[in-house]
Amino acid sequence: MDQSQNTTAGIGGSNGPMRYQTNDGTATTTVDDSKEKLNQVINSIQKTLGLLHQLHLTVSSFTPSSQLHLLQRLNGLVMELDNMANLSEKCNIQVPMEVLNLIDDGKNPDEFTKDVVNNCIARNQVTKGKTDAFKGLRKHLLEELDQTFPDEVDMYREIRATSAAEAKRLAQSQSVLPNGDAKVKTEL
């Protein structure tokens, strides 16, 4: 694969740029440029692996007469490694140190992902427990207040229902989700 094939292979298959609409109605294009750069790095890595395989075959069957061929393969590998380094400078990919440490220890980096997911699940369960406890406290307080101050609790419930309906109506009219996020629109 020559250099021109290296920069364009594997980039297709996209459904076009994704556009995110912000609260003020402006749209920004993201993802495509960084995907293209990442695909170029991936293609360079694949080409480097192929060159390393060819170099291995050349070294394993080395004879003094194949020295020129070996040097050409080494030069090709160095050029591709330089190309990969240049392409990777354009990508902003952050790999957690824990993943690199796992790889150095000879372990599967998927263990890191599994641990992160398990930790998220555990924290989610703790947060859900706290949320449920507060819901129970609120319910209990409303029951107690309803017994002591029934008129005030009825007024409170009416105010809450009115404000919730108004917030929902406002959110729908502004194309904003109830939690305040903007809706995502994809363009084909």
Three-state secondary structure string covering 114-140: HHHHHHHHHHHHHHHHHHHHHHHHHHH
Nearest to 93 by CA among 39, 15, 155, 135: 39
Residue 65 lies in a domain: yes
170, part of any domain: yes
Task: Work out the burial of residue 140: count CB atoms within 10 Å of its CB; fewer than 13 is exposed, 13-18 middle, 19 or more buried.
Answer: exposed
pLDDT on residue 165: 92
| The pLDDT value given to residue 179 | 66
Residues 60 and 15 in one domain: yes
Q: Is residue 57 a part of any domain in this protein?
A: yes
pLDDT of residue 96: 85
- Residue 71 falls within a domain, yes or no? yes
User: How far, CA to CA in Å, does 43 sit from each of 8, 22, 100, 109?
Assistant: 9, 34, 22, 21
Domain check: are 9 and 37 in the same one? yes
Give me the residues paired with residue 185 across strands: 19
Residue 183 within a domain: no
Residue 88 sits in the same domain as residue 116? no
What pLDDT was estimated at residue 16?
41
**pTM exceeds 0.75 for this model:** no
Q: Total domain count for the chain? A: 2
| Residues 79 and 139 occupy one common structural domain | no
Choose the final residue of a domain: 93, 128, 147: 93
What single-letter amino acid sits at 104? D
User: Would you give per-residue pLDDT tens digits along the chain (188 residues)?
Assistant: 444 333 333 333 334 444 444 444 444 445 678 888 889 999 999 999 999 999 999 999 988 888 999 999 999 999 999 999 998 888 887 888 888 888 899 988 888 889 899 999 999 999 999 999 999 999 999 999 999 999 999 999 999 999 999 988 887 777 656 666 666 655 55
Tokens 């007469």 locate to 65
Query: Is residue 11 included in any domain, yes or no?
Result: yes
Can you give the residue range of the structural domain that contains 20? 3-93
Report d(CA 114, CA 103) in Å as an integer.
Answer: 15
Long-range contacts of 82-85 (CB under 8 A, 24+ apart): 83/3, 83/6, 83/44, 84/41, 84/44, 84/45, 84/48
- Check whether residue 85 and residue 116 sit in a common domain: no
State residue 181's pLDDT score.
66
**Structure-derived torsion over alpha carbons of residues 63, 67, 71, 77, reported in degrees to the nearest 10:** -10
Share of the chain residues as helix, strand and coil, in percent rounded to the nearest 5: 70, 5, 25
